[in-house]
């Protein structure tokens, strides 16, 4: 009896002091997820080919490392309650698939749900958190996206904390992505639980519109951007606001894809592509592989950008970077081409979150256009540009020595 009591006490202590694995996401995670393009049409061949394409397209070298399977991989649970994959779709099993992904210098991610079943009706983790964490560790999983469908009146922080504790108990470090759609304001509590948390309901491949469903809505890119403006202070190294996966290459115009990607970089958002990696256009590849823009997203300070000014459809976004640099993005959210004029010396920019100051009247900065990949002068001269509808000009300002 004493032994049993001692074991219970030890288990309770382990749960109380469990924590997320620190230091796994010092910059926003980058990778690919199957859902936006393939939905439930996932199988072993697709994931292997996606991993191969990640390498051959140059995306791995640009920083994308996670290959993540979303919903519908599940087969069922065995007599002991352990989850197993659909054997018709994944005949070699998840361990072999993870080993293959790892052999390419990539990391392997998987999907679950905190409720009774996943959004697609597959076996979810409610009541099986520790068993699932054990299986994921055995398979070699590096990243887990945890949805919140069919969760009834569950506490989001309680459910996700249980899963976090289960990962810690299983002993394999995993990046933990909380995906409850922002309904429970995860930015207020997610830092202690996961590495990133969804801030809104699902994205879809549209720039400024709303897609209605029976009991939820999908949001276009611009609507999601607008919802990020008041929560930037909650994001930073190892704890990121997540405005959802990228829709670059999924049907928007090149201008809109470029604006979408640029703004995710300005927000210091996770860059999880959701396109068909095997049939990318030249334009899609160039956007996803823009290392100058990616460097803004992956900046070591981990500061989310902020909307500095708005003049009609033109928004000016600012983002402090390491080494005294700044990223500046001019976003044309309107449906017509607009001319932009901006006086560097006439604008002293103070980021009240970090107390960083951009003062071109005092300091001179060189200007790099991050989509043209060339220097365009200094802040001694006012900025002017013509920006097409739903497009951006994205700049990096570097202190001139």
Residue 150 CB partners (closer than 8 Å, separation 6+): 113, 115, 116, 117, 118, 119, 124
HSE value, Cβ hemisphere, 13 Å, CA-based, for 32 = 31
Please confirm, yes or no, whether 202 is among the known catalytic residues.
Answer: yes
Phi, psi of 340, rounded to the nearest 5 degrees: -120, 135
Q: How many residues comprise the chain?
A: 401
Paired sense of beta strands 383-387 and 338-342, if any: antiparallel
Please confirm, yes or no, whether 363 is among the known catalytic residues.
Answer: no
Paired sense of beta strands 326-332 and 314-320, if any: antiparallel
Residue of 147, 257, 325, 391 with catalytic role: 147
C-alpha pair distances (Å), 292 with each of 65, 162, 271, 284: 18, 39, 14, 15
Residue 369 CB partners (closer than 8 Å, separation 6+): 375, 376, 393, 394, 395
Residue keyed to tokens 């080993």: 99
**CA-to-CA distance for 299 and 77, rounded, in angstroms?**
42
> Which is nearest to 180 in space by CA: 206, 205, 217, 151?
151
The radius of gyration computed from the CA coordinates of the chain, to the nearest angstrom, equals 22
Residue of 71, 132, 202, 391 with catalytic role: 202
Helix, strand or coil for residue 236? strand
**CA-to-CA distance for 249 and 211, rounded, in angstroms?**
19
Phi, psi of 70, rounded to the nearest 5 degrees: -90, -150
C-alpha pair distances (Å), 196 with each of 15, 35, 242: 21, 18, 6
Active-site positions read 147, 202
């Amino acid at each position: 009896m004493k032994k049993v009591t001692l074991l219970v006490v030890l288990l309770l202590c382990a749960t109380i002091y469990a924590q997320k694995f620190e230091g796994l996401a010092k910059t926003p995670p980058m990778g690919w997820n199957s859902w936006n393009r393939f939905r439930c049409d996932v199988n072993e061949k697709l994931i292997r080919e996606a991993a191969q394409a990640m390498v051959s397209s140059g995306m791995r070298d640009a920083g994308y490392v996670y290959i993540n399977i979303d919903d519908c991989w599940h087969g069922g649970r065995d007599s002991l309650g352990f989850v197993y994959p659909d054997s018709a779709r994944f005949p070699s099993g998840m361990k072999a698939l993870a080993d293959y992904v790892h052999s390419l210098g990539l990391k392997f991610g998987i999907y679950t749900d905190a409720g009774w079943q996943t959004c697609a009706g597959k076996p979810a983790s409610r009541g099986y958190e520790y068993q699932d964490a054990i299986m994921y560790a055995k398979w070699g999983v590096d990243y887990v996206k945890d949805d919140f469908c069919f969760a009834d009146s569950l506490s989001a922080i309680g459910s996700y904390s249980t899963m976090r504790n289960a990962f810690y108990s299983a002993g394999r470090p995993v990046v933990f992505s909380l995906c409850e759609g922002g309904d429970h304001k995860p930015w207020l509590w997610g830092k202690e639980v996961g590495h990133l948390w969804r801030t809104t309901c699902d994205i879809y491949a549209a720039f400024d519109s709303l897609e209605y469903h029976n009991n939820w809505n999908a949001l276009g890119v611009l609507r999601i951007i607008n919802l990020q403006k008041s929560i930037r202070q909650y994001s930073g190294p190892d704890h990121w606001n997540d405005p959802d996966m990228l829709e670059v290459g999924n049907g928007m115009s090149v201008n809109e894809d470029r604006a979408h990607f640029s703004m995710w970089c300005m927000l210091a958002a996770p860059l999880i592509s959701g396109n068909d990696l095997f049939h990318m256009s030249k334009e899609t590849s160039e956007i996803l592989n823009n290392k100058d823009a990616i460097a803004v997203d992956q900046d070591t300070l981990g500061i989310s950008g902020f909307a500095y000014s708005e003049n009609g459809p033109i928004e000016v976004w600012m983002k402090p970077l390491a080494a005294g640099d700044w990223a500046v993005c001019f976003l044309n959210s309107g449906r017509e081409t607009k001319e932009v004029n901006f006086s560097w010396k006439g604008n002293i920019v103070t980021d009240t979150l970090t107390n960083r100051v951009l003062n071109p009247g005092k300091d001179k900065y060189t200007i790099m256009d991050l989509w043209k990949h060339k220097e365009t002068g200094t802040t001694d001269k006012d900025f002017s540009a013509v920006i097409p509808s739903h497009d951006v000009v994205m700049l990096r300002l570097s202190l001139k020595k």
